Amino acid sequence: METKTVLVTGIGGNVGQGVLRNIRDLNYTIYLIGTDIASFTAGNHLCDITYQVPYSYDASYVTTIAEIVEKHNVDLILPTTDYEVYYLSLHKDKIKAEIAVSEAATAKIYLDKYLTYKHHDSLQIAFAQTWLPCQYKNEVSEIIVKPREGRGSRGIEINPKNPTAFSDDYLIQPLHKGKEITTAFYVKKDGTLHGLFTMERELTNGATSKSRTCKEYDAVLETILLKMIANSKLRGSINLQSIVEEDGTIIPFEVNCRISGTNSIRHNLGFQDVKYTLQEYLYQQEPDVVNVIEGIATRLLYDVIYPNSTNEAELNNNSSNFKIY
């Protein structure tokens, strides 16, 4: 098989590292390039070569990525952070590689949780009631305040004393109580839903620490997803986060226009969205049939150790002498 070159962004984070592990597990003949805002990350050892790049909103970001693409004749870019999805989609005409992203206008809506609410509300698609602080009139007794843009539970406050004091860079939602579920779904290039995978999960510091497959909500979720897809330009792997209340009502509260952090878990439970992406965008193949199985997962912390090394700058690819422990 001809060697293909794939660039994965955000390799310092768990999403990017999961994508890298999944690609390695597939045993395709792929030369892997990793990028991150840091030069030394836990993802370096999974790549054939790595590059430090600016933040995606920096004026030089797109130029830097374009230069890497030209230098290595990159076939496909897999962005793993929300902002990179948006900026790479916005400027994809400047980059000579396939990029697995939704359309920029769609990515912009889902980058901002308030715009997401407005979009869903206008189309009668389920989503948590949402106010800007300047709009809030104490409509509910318990609330959660969070940044309009952001991830990983950063900046969240529960029942603050003065919610209207927050700027309109924040939003307010009712504090829905129940089980948190996360749904990955894959939208093919032709705009059709290929499949979905839902897990009930527990979070530690904003990331999944324990999860289990749950299929009991798939029928309701599929209805929501089909409405989302019909009214946007979603493509590739997307993530929907929801709360299931005691009476079974599903309340979506966030959409991420990217591969999510549990990709390495579902890869082993019958939903291989990284593989589907490679099949469609890299090899022009029909994605494999989804075959979700039951399963439970928890996470543990490993170390990447470089014996006898003294210079981080030299530890930028998988040829370095390292040990996973």
Total tally of structural domains belonging to the chain: 2
User: Counting Cβ atoms within 10 Å, is residue 116 exposed (0-12), middle (13-18) or buried (19+)?
Assistant: buried
Looking at the fold, whether 134 and 94 belong to one and the same domain comes out as no
What distance in Å separates the CA atoms of residue 151 and residue 259, rounded to the nearest whole number? Answer: 13
Average pLDDT, the chain: 95
Looking at the fold, whether 159 and 85 belong to one and the same domain comes out as no
Across 142-150, average pLDDT: 93
Looking at the fold, whether 79 and 21 belong to one and the same domain comes out as yes
Across 1-9, average pLDDT: 95
Q: Which long-range contacts (CB under 8 A, 24 or more apart) does 94-100 make?
A: 94/62, 94/63, 94/66, 95/62, 95/65, 95/66, 95/69, 96/66, 96/69, 96/70, 97/7, 97/69, 98/281, 98/282, 100/76, 100/235, 100/236, 100/237, 100/277, 100/281
Across 97-106, average pLDDT: 97
Categorize the per-residue pLDDT at 206 as very low, low, confident or very high, splitting at 50, 70 and 90. low
Residue 283 lies in a domain: no
Asked whether the beta carbons of 153 and 180 are under 8 A apart, the reply is: no
Range of lowest pLDDT (143-157, 226-240, 247-261)? 143-157
Looking at the fold, whether 15 and 97 belong to one and the same domain comes out as yes
What distance in Å separates the CA atoms of residue 121 and residue 140, rounded to the nearest whole number? Answer: 18
pTM for the model: 0.94
The DSSP output letter for 126 is: -
Residue 145 lies in a domain: yes
Q: Reply yes or no on whether the pLDDT at 205 is more than 70.
A: no
pLDDT score at 210: 86
Looking at the fold, whether 85 and 24 belong to one and the same domain comes out as yes
Looking at the fold, whether 74 and 150 belong to one and the same domain comes out as no
pLDDT score at 233: 97
| Both structure tokens of 123 | 């189309």
pLDDT score at 152: 61
Q: Reply yes or no on whether the pLDDT at 155 is more than 90.
A: no
What distance in Å separates the CA atoms of residue 32 and residue 274, rounded to the nearest whole number? Answer: 14
The helix/strand/coil state of 295 is coil
pLDDT score at 272: 98
pLDDT score at 130: 97
Domain that holds residue 68: 4-101+312-320
What distance in Å separates the CA atoms of residue 202 and residue 196, rounded to the nearest whole number? Answer: 19
Across 45-62, average pLDDT: 97
Residue 273 lies in a domain: no
Looking at the fold, whether 87 and 161 belong to one and the same domain comes out as no
Q: Which of 174, 201, 230 is the last residue of a domain?
A: 174
Looking at the fold, whether 10 and 77 belong to one and the same domain comes out as yes
Categorize the per-residue pLDDT at 203 as very low, low, confident or very high, splitting at 50, 70 and 90. confident
Looking at the fold, whether 74 and 158 belong to one and the same domain comes out as no
Looking at the fold, whether 143 and 93 belong to one and the same domain comes out as no
Looking at the fold, whether 62 and 136 belong to one and the same domain comes out as no
Residue 217 lies in a domain: no
The DSSP output letter for 142 is: S
CATH of the domain at 83: 3.40.50.20
pLDDT tens digits along 168-184:
999 999 999 999 999 99
Percent of the chain at pLDDT > 90 equals: 92
Q: Reply yes or no on whether the pLDDT at 207 is more than 90.
A: no
Looking at the fold, whether 67 and 11 belong to one and the same domain comes out as yes
pLDDT score at 151: 65
